Amino acid sequence: MGSTYLVKVVGASLPPAQVAALQAGVEQCLKEVNRQISHYQPDSELSLFNCAPAGAPFKISAGFAALVRQSMELDRLSGGAFDPTLAPVINLWGFGEKTPEHRIPAEAELEQARRSTGIAHLRLTPAGELVKDIPGLQLNFGANGKGFGVDEMVRVLQARGLTNAYVSISGEVFVLGHNAKGTKWQVGIPAPVPDWRPGGPVATVLSLSGQAVSTSGDYQKYFVDAQGRRLCHIMDPKTGRPVQHNLGSVSVVADSSTLADALSTTLFVLGPEAGLRFIETWTNASALFIVREAEGKFRSVPSSRFASQTGYRP
């Protein structure tokens, strides 16, 4: 997945041999996640599917299939705001691993790239086979794959009877039980300031237990065009262009990291108004929208369930 992971376990005195076994179990879990859905690993199921011809059924593992189903359903529910087939477009703008130089593509280039995208061109058979109906269609689970990896690590911990832990891959976090002080875990939400890095300012701190949190925004991966517009790595599937609105970030709290990860991207694409309407339809998730205003100021807009689920105070 091209990211680092962190696991903190509290309230359990594990001898060195058990710590080593736990670490080995977590790493084996992540190897299996990468074997299924890594777009960096050339022999992963995802990479092999991306190279497969149109019309050929391709057998995939259960985890891979679950991400496909989630993506299809979320795309349907959101009216097309979530699409994991945008790799050619993302690469064209310079946000993919193949083209690190940011640039604004020509209209003809963009149209050609978009002809190889569209989750509607995917079909998952009852036998767990994935089929693409156009050549060149590729999957990239950058918007829900890290969340899936976090959930898999949490399963490893729970299978060993561990009940109090902090688990993360990059900014995708799931917390179990309580922290070392015996209270809920305190998880900071980054302030969407330019080029934010770990240790940077936080917009707020949430109190969580048995919950996941994920944040999507335009403040880390972006470039500025000649008109001064911020062009970020999150693409609108309907246009093939970086999302353009006044939303700096959106943080989602949910009962799984896979869902929080996918929903945060979806809501960022939808924007603050449509995104707020959409998250209100979910009873197992809530969100905090941080909206940019004039002179570098921000306005926080929580969904109706956010405070009760996170202890959030404006």
**pLDDT digits 0-9 by tens, 67-118:** 999 999 999 999 999 999 999 999 999 998 766 689 999 999 999 999 999 9
| Mean pLDDT value of segment 5-9 | 96
Query: What pLDDT is stored for residue 1 in this prediction?
Result: 60
- Report how far apart, in Å, the C-alpha atoms of 286 and of each of 72, 167, 208, 225, 252 are: 21, 20, 13, 33, 6
* 3-class state of residue 278 by DSSP: helix
Q: Could you give the residue range(s) of every CATH 3.10.520.10 domain in the chain?
A: 178-310
Residue position matching structure tokens 């015996």: 182
- Give the CB-side neighbour count of residue 247, counting CA atoms within 13 A: 30
Q: What CATH architecture applies to the domain 55-132? A: Orthogonal Bundle (1.10)
> pTM for the full model?
0.96
Identify which of 259, 37, 238, 232 has the alpha carbon closest to the alpha carbon of residue 118: 238
Task: Give the span between the Cα atoms of 131 and 129, in whole angstroms.
Answer: 7
User: Rounded to a whole number, what is the distance in angstroms from the first to the last CA of the chain?
Assistant: 34
pLDDT band with cut points at 50, 70 and 90 for residue 164? very high
Task: Give the span between the Cα atoms of 192 and 212, in whole angstroms.
Answer: 19
- b/e burial code for range 20-37 (CB count within 10 A of at least 16 → b): eebeeebeebbeebbbbb
For residue 68, give the amino acid letter. V
Q: Could you give the residue range(s) of every CATH 1.10.3980.10 domain in the chain?
A: 55-132
* 3-class state of residue 290 by DSSP: strand
Query: What pLDDT is stored for residue 2 in this prediction?
Result: 67
Please give the mean pLDDT across all residues of the chain: 95
CA R_g for the chain: 20
* Helical packing angle, 257-270 and 272-279, nearest 10°: 140
Q: Where are the beta strands (DSSP E) in the chain?
A: 5-9, 58-59, 122-124, 129-132, 165-169, 172-176, 185-190, 202-208, 211-217, 222-224, 230-232, 235-236, 241-242, 247-254, 285-292, 298-302
Domain 178-310 has CATH 3.10.520.10: yes
pLDDT over 70 (residue 47): yes
pLDDT band with cut points at 50, 70 and 90 for residue 294? confident
